[in-house]
Copies of this chain bind each other. A is one copy, B any other.
Amino acid sequence: MTRETPARPTIYDVARRAGVSKSLVSLVLRGAPHVSAARRQAVLAAIEDLGYRPSRAASALASQQTRSIGVLIDDFRNPWFVELLAGLRSVLDPAGYTVSVADFQLEAASGRNPVDGFLAQHADALVLAAEPDAALLGEVPVPVVVAGVRELGPATLPEADVVAGDDEHGGTLATRHLVELGHRRIGHITGRGGPAAHRRRGYERTARDAGLEPFVAGQDGGTAEADGYAATVRLLEERPLLTAILAANDVMAVGALAALRERGLSAPSDVAVVGYDNSPLAAYRYLALTSVDPHSRDIGAEAARTLLTRLEQPDAPPRPALLEPTLVIRSSSGA
């Protein structure tokens, strides 16, 4: 003799019995307004009759700790953050945290600050992988780890932990690579922001140490593909005999490739090109960019470990960590 176990009632069963939609049942479960007393009553009666237990809903809503971490980035179009995120999650996922991402690109200045957004969602902590204005950041009442951006720590967040790549050393590695390949006329395209400034410093110092004159374009512009294109056009106008270009990041390097092609030049046969970030873009076979790898995945993992420590020991002194970059050689530099 077999006995059938009755299927556990679902939210759909409740909706059917109460004669309302699933959405209305969940609104009642959440205690939302906009629901008439009669329908609320019908839903509660159906829940009672069926013995429905809203498993996930209830546990989520009952929990005080959200076990969620908010990650703030500058721009979803620059894929450097993808590996950082993978590293963060390699540590935070097994620790039972969920990770979500928001950016600082406000829509026509009408948007709510994403920091406020994460606070309203009761995030346990924030990872700041961006360089927002101090005003946008404001006073943050949860632990913050700055990841991948070295500048911010002391300036706007005196108590934040900072885990970043040594961008100046990365600029040095890339420039040394080009010098060792025999290049004597190496230009640099860059843009605003802390990481770009550090990378540039490494380039300039290494070029001078090798007896070369540094030449930089784009320092007041952005760091997107179009900025890389525009900076390279200017660079080539003023220094048409360049044989190598170091870009402050990979998307700018892709812009440089287009500017070179427009002048009938190609990489690496006419001009060597090196990017920075070792983003997914650099690994695309069609682009095959030699690129400095800041080890964003390791930075993310270290930032996550720092964050977990901080949540346990809120009073420990802030801990800065600077990770060594390496150079990933692909075909764009002709090595």
Least CB separation from A260: chain B residue: B286
Q: With the chains together, A87 CA to B108 CA distance in Å?
A: 12
Asked if A100 and B112 sit within 8 Å, CB to CB, the answer is no
Task: Output the least CB separation between A62 and chain B (Å).
Answer: 10
Asked if A56 and B116 sit within 8 Å, CB to CB, the answer is yes
Partner of A63, one of B105, B120, B159: B120
Query: Is A34 located at the chain interface by the 8 A CB criterion?
Result: yes
Asked if A141 and B29 sit within 8 Å, CB to CB, the answer is yes
Q: A23-B310, A27-B314, A120-B60 are in contact. Are A100 and B98 (CB under 8 A)?
A: no
| A51-84 contact mask (Cβ, 8 Å, vs B): 1 or 0 | 0001111001101101110100000110101100
Contact size range, A: 35 or more
Asked if A89 and B77 sit within 8 Å, CB to CB, the answer is no
Query: Is A269 located at the chain interface by the 8 A CB criterion?
Result: no
Q: With the chains together, A27 CA to B124 CA distance in Å?
A: 10
Q: 10 additional contacts, CB 8 Å, given A60-B116, A77-B79, A98-B102?
A: A11-B141, A23-B310, A24-B314, A24-B315, A55-B139, A63-B120, A66-B121, A67-B117, A99-B102, A100-B117
Give me 23 A-to-B residue pairs in the complex whose CB atoms sit less than 8 angstroms apart, sorted by A's number: A10-B139, A21-B315, A23-B143, A27-B314, A32-B314, A66-B122, A68-B117, A68-B120, A68-B121, A76-B81, A77-B82, A89-B107, A93-B107, A98-B111, A98-B121, A99-B102, A99-B117, A100-B117, A121-B121, A121-B123, A122-B122, A255-B284, A255-B286
